[in-house]
Structure 1
Amino acid sequence: MSIAKSINKAWKDYMWIIIGSIITAASINIFLVPYKIAPGGVSGLATVVYYLSQYRLPVGATMLALNLPLFIAGIRLVGRRFIVRTLLSTVLLSVIVDFTEPFTQIFVDKYLASPEQVYSTPDLLLYAIFGGGMMGVGLGLVFKYGATTGGSDLAARIVNHFRPNLTMGQILLVVDTSVIIFAAVAFKSFIIALYAIVALYVSSKVIDAILEGINFAKAVFIISDKSDKIAQRILDELDRGVTALNGTGMYTGSHKKVLMCVLHRGQLEQLKEIAAMEDEKAFIILADIREVLGEGFKTYTM
């Protein structure tokens, strides 16, 4: 990669990290902290400290203080590039949370239910869902472009560095459960803990969707004695490429072509009809695809 492309990519990454931090801060100030919803992480701990402290310590400043030990640990375990981006997003998120709090509070007071009213209405569930969803979008963007916002996010990234078989969302789900339990005890409310779990679950699912892609495509494997006819119809009628793989039935010892095709979900039923019309005994295997890069699908750009 040329120096110009490298610099352009770095600026693009930092732009998305900033946008992700802003979205995360908005979710914290609008939907979570005002209603004592603490879906794990340092933001959850900072929410508890905010309500239990006599002088209502700023949430952002508390988050930054809680992040320091994990940040120091992260310096030894992950690369310099990752640490620089994490430092940026961690400080940025803390600053944005405290800076925008007065403005978001005006929005909360004007358009959302007050903390006293919300516990007697179904609104708290909506706030947990939307707060968790917004946080998932923000954190997902930060993760996707090579950083974290510190706290359990940084802890999850460190664990993921050594255990890549675990997704970021799964690790966060486990780590943040303890924070939710602590918040439930501190606020003496089991109901708030349940809403926090909803927010955490939604957040983890959105994070995984952003990092790994959404199931928008299907991979199809077809084993048939009439594979040539099926392949030709797929090419003509669905306008999808087909790859023939050489297969051998280990029980019969017969050699057959195994057709592999990736297509959008909306084309799946048509493909099934084509296979059934040409060979009622065709063996079809379907698999979910997280992400597809290439002609006819998503184009990969640096």
Structure 2
Amino acid sequence: MSKLISNNPKLWLEIRALITVTVFTIIYGIGVAWFLEASLEPLYTGGIPGLGQLVRNILITRFNVNAGNTFLGIFVLLGNIPILILGWFGVSKRFTIYSIVSVLIQTTILGFIPIVDVGITDTFVLAVMGGLLVGVGVGGALKYGTSTGGLDIVAQYYSLRHGTSVGFVSLVLNITIALAGALVFGSASVAAYTIIRIIVSTIVTDKIHTAYHFLKVEIITQNPDQLCQLILEQVYRGVTLSRVEGAYSHQEKTMVMVVISSYELSKIRKLVQDFDPKAFMITQPVKTIQGNFKRKTIV
């Protein structure tokens, strides 16, 4: 088995993605089920599970209908169907396949596994801890080219087309859910605690998931032609060349400049290390990009 994986790096990438989406979805599910759902003061998670919580609470408070423990899991499953279709055609088929795996895991955790009492009753602590775990689950899944489904796919779709932070898009969508929850219960504290949860989740998501943050990479080398060809063929990014001179050695060298998405950094670092270990490389964050720069879909 190990020989098969070593001879087929693409297979290892898919196995890693499957493990990743499973682990991070479990973390996400624990954050929702064990912390947010454990609060006496309603705490809403984001995305489709948050909408499910909202609908369930409306049924209870307005119509005195108890939908049962499995309602949230079934709502997550059915509510994701149209969004998964959007992801299939608008983001990436591979991304969507792993999102389906995540949705099935969420359905199981939220609808059919008993909630564990973590022994915490303070709503603020539950909001922070739940937000932390939700942020780790969402950000970790996105970082490795998968997702927890739901509004993550909508955020990813919008981010691909407008270059906006995924965390920011999710923040806007999820605050809407929080305000709706406050209206249902007529309580500002519901919105306040949920917004605390959202802020924690958004910060953690953006710290972990950096696929649509951009970097300028400058590489000083004496072998620019071959290095540029490797970058063009393996990273699929345009390259700009500048002639430079070392102040101490007075040797003429070439600076290779390329702008990449930060998830491509490990690829380009390995490429440079393998090709020219003596090359000098620096990276800088890029705030805005204007011009011919392709925001790649997740493959």
TM range (shorter): 0.5 to 0.7
Structure 2: how far apart are the matches of 1:47 and 1:209?
Answer: 27
Structure 1: how far apart are the matches of 2:55 and 2:172?
Answer: 21
Shift of 1:103: 4.1
Q: Output the amino acid matched with 2:24.
A: G
Partner of 1:198: 196
2:25 counterpart of 1:14: no
2:208 counterpart of 1:185: no
Residues 131-146 of structure 1 mapped to structure 2, 5 A cutoff: 131-146=130-145
Structure 2: how far apart are the matches of 1:4 and 1:204?
Answer: 36
Map Cα deviations across residues 201-257 of structure 1 (whole Å, 9 max, x no partner): 1101101111139xxxxx9xxxxxxxxxxxxxxxxxxxxxxxxx959xxxxxxxxxx
Map Cα deviations across residues 28-54 of structure 1 (whole Å, 9 max, x no partner): 011112321114321211112233331
Structure 1: how far apart are the matches of 2:164 and 2:151?
Answer: 15
Shift of 1:3: 6.0
Show structure 2 runs of 5+ residues with no match: 60-64, 212-216, 218-242, 246-261, 274-299
Given that residues 178 and 190 in structure 2 are in contact (C-alpha distance below 8 angstroms), is that contact kept between their aligned partners in structure 1? no
Structure 1: how far apart are the matches of 2:103 and 2:7?
Answer: 27
Given that residues 40 and 178 in structure 1 are in contact (C-alpha distance below 8 angstroms), is that contact kept between their aligned partners in structure 2? no
Map Cα deviations across residues 102-139 of structure 1 (whole Å, 9 max, x no partner): 142xx24xx122xxxxxxxxx21111111100100011
Q: Output the amino acid matched with 1:143.
A: L
Structure 2: how far apart are the matches of 1:201 and 1:7?
Answer: 36
Shift of 1:72: 2.1
2:95 counterpart of 1:91: no
Shift of 1:56: 2.8
2:18 counterpart of 1:5: no
Partner of 1:25: 29
Given that residues 14 and 145 in structure 1 are in contact (C-alpha distance below 8 angstroms), is that contact kept between their aligned partners in structure 2? no
Given that residues 90 and 148 in structure 1 are in contact (C-alpha distance below 8 angstroms), is that contact kept between their aligned partners in structure 2? no
Report the TM-score when normalising by structure 1: 0.63
Report the TM-score when normalising by structure 2: 0.64
Q: Compared with structure 1, are the counterparts of its residues 3 and 159 closer, same or farther at alpha carbon in structure 2 (3 Å cutoff)?
A: farther
User: Which structure's CA Rg is the greater one?
Assistant: 1
Residues 67-78 of structure 1 mapped to structure 2, 5 A cutoff: 67-78=80-91
SS of equivalent residue, structure 2 residue 8: helix
Given that residues 70 and 155 in structure 1 are in contact (C-alpha distance below 8 angstroms), is that contact kept between their aligned partners in structure 2? yes
Structure 2: how far apart are the matches of 1:99 and 1:48?
Answer: 19
2:120 counterpart of 1:112: yes
Partner of 1:125: 124
Structure 2: how far apart are the matches of 1:91 and 1:141?
Answer: 18
1:56 corresponds, among 49, 56, 67, to 67
Structure 1 runs of 4+ aligned residues shifted over 4 Å read 290-295
Q: Compared with structure 1, are the counterparts of its residues 66 and 210 closer, same or farther at alpha carbon in structure 2 (3 Å cutoff)?
A: same
Shift of 1:147: 2.0
Number of aligned residue pairs: 213
Map Cα deviations across residues 134-177 of structure 1 (whole Å, 9 max, x no partner): 100011111112222222111111111212x2111111011212
Structure 1: how far apart are the matches of 2:204 and 2:155?
Answer: 16
Structure 2: how far apart are the matches of 1:210 and 1:3?
Answer: 30
Structure 1: how far apart are the matches of 2:134 and 2:175?
Answer: 16
Structure 2: how far apart are the matches of 1:183 and 1:190?
Answer: 9
Map Cα deviations across residues 166-199 of structure 1 (whole Å, 9 max, x no partner): 1111110112121111111112211111110011
Given that residues 13 and 145 in structure 1 are in contact (C-alpha distance below 8 angstroms), is that contact kept between their aligned partners in structure 2? yes
Map Cα deviations across residues 7-38 of structure 1 (whole Å, 9 max, x no partner): 01110111011000100000101111232111
Partner of 2:149: 150
Given that residues 83 and 153 in structure 2 are in contact (C-alpha distance below 8 angstroms), is that contact kept between their aligned partners in structure 1? yes
